[in-house]
Every structure is written in C-alpha cells, then in structure tokens.
C-alpha cells in the first residue's frame, strides 16, 4: 500500500481519514513517524496563547474605530467629496434627462430633412439597409453624446441606480408615442430584427 499523502496526514490528525487508509498506519513506520512529528508541532502551536490586552486597550480601540467611522463616508460610497453629495436618485435623474434630451434631439434631426447638419436628415433611413440606421445615428452629435454617456455606465451600476427597464415600462413608453412615431418605431424594429 502506498504511503499517506500530505493531505491524508492532515486528514489523519484531524480525524477525517477513511478507515481503509488509516489501516496503513499500523503497518508503516515511515507514515507513523511523519504523523507523530506533525501532531507534536500541532500540539505546540495549540499551547500558545495570546497575551490579553488590558480592558483600557479595548476601550481605546473601540473609541478610535468609532472616531474613524464617524468621519468615514457612507458604506459603499467612493469616498470622493463630490460623490458624497450626490445620491443615486440624482445620478439616475440626470442620466434619464440626458437620455431624453439626446433622444429628443435625435428625433428632431431625423424629422427635419432640410437640416444640413446631420446625415440622418439628408439621407433618410432605409429599412432595407440596416447599416443606414447606424450611419444616421453615428453622425448625430446628440446621439453620440448619449452613446458616450451610456458607454461609461456599467450594467450593474444601472441596475443599482434603478435604471434597468422594468416590466410595463416599454408598453407605457409605446403608448405615449404618436401614430407617426409608432410607425417609425415599427420600421426601425423590423430593420433591426432583419440584421
């Protein structure tokens, strides 16, 4: 039978070695010697106690921590002074406003064919050619702003900030659209699903 491995020796001194393997110990002086050495070291380690600090130390210890914690930022905050003044609600509200502004600006530009500033206005989106959607939105500065803002937001942060879409929100948003907007949305969705 093979000698006990290091892991089995640890199991043996902790009383967790299966009897089938433990039977080897009675026949093997090498393993017995190893187990004896490890057991002896464990006994010496066990016997060591830590000098108990005075009760006064514990009082000071707790009061020092209390003081540090009183000055610390709220748990989980970044610790930056400007960040302490901002709540998640404000951040969420700011992001929503930015998204709405961006979306509004994008809609205005796509509805104004004479506006020369955007590709979207000069080149109407083609549902048959999905790449034209990206070309239109990529050239839109307002949309680019929204994209750059959104790119920096981690998904987990958006969930924590309660920005994730909840059941019913999309339906409600769709109900707020005009019939023209709904048609446009339908066209965009069709184009998107063909990609």
Partner 1 sequence: MGRVSPDWTIRVGPIEGEAQQASSDRWAVLDDAQLVRACVDGHREAFGAIVERHRRQVYQLCYRYVGTHEDAADLAQDTFVRAFKGLRGFKGQSSIATWLYRIAVNVCLNRLALKTPRPEPLLADDRPDLQAVRPDAALLRAERAAEVRAAIQQLPRKQRATLILRVYHELPHEEIAAILGSSVGATKANLFHALANLKKLLR
Q: Name the site residues for partner 1 (rule: CB under 8 A).
A: 6-7, 9-11, 37-38, 40-42, 44-51, 53, 57-58, 61-62, 64-66, 68-70, 72-76, 79
CA 120 to chain centre: 35
Which residues, in sequence order, are CB contacts of 43 under 8 Å at separation 6+?
Answer: none
For the bound state, the minimum distance from the C-beta of residue 110 to partner 1, rounded and expressed in Å, comes to 42
Torsion of CA 68, 71, 76, 78, to 10 degrees: -120
Compare residues 53 and 104 and give the one whose CB is closer to partner 1.
53
Under DSSP, is residue 23 helix (H, G, I), strand (E, B) or coil? helix
Q: How far is the CB of 44 from partner 1 (least distance, A)?
A: 6
The minimum distance between CB 100 and partner 1, in angstroms, equals: 29
Token representation of residue 90: 């404000």
> Distance between CA 85 and CA 177 in Å, rounded?
36
Question: How many CA atoms lie within 13 Å of 111's alpha carbon, on the beta-carbon side?
Answer: 9
- Return the number of the residue (128 or 155) whose C-beta is nearest partner 1: 155
Q: Encoding tokens for residue 11?
A: 């199991």
In this structure, what token pair is assigned to residue 128?
């048959």
What is the closest distance, in whole angstroms, from the C-beta atom of residue 191 to partner 1 in the complex?
A: 42
The CB-of-27 to partner 1 minimum distance in angstroms stands at 21
């Amino acid at each position: 039978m093979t000698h006990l491995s290091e892991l089995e020796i640890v199991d043996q001194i902790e009383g967790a070695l299966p009897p089938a393997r433990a039977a080897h110990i009675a026949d093997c002086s090498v393993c017995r010697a190893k187990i004896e050495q490890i057991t002896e070291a464990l006994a010496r380690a066990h016997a060591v106690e830590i000098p108990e600090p005075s009760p006064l130390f514990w009082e000071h210890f707790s009061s020092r921590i209390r003081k540090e914690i009183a000055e610390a930022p709220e748990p989980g905050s970044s610790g930056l002074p400007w960040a302490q003044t901002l709540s998640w609600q404000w951040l969420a509200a700011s992001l929503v406003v930015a998204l709405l502004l961006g979306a509004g600006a994008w809609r205005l530009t796509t509805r104004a064919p004479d506006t020369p500033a955007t590709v979207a206005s000069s080149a109407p989106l083609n549902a048959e050619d999905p790449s034209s959607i990206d070309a239109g939105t990529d050239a839109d500065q307002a949309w680019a702003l929204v994209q750059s803002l959104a790119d920096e937001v981690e998904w987990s942060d958006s969930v924590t900030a309660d920005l994730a879409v909840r059941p019913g929100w999309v339906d409600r948003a769709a109900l707020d659209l005009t019939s023209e907007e709904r048609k446009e949305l339908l066209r965009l969705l069709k184009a998107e699903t063909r990609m």
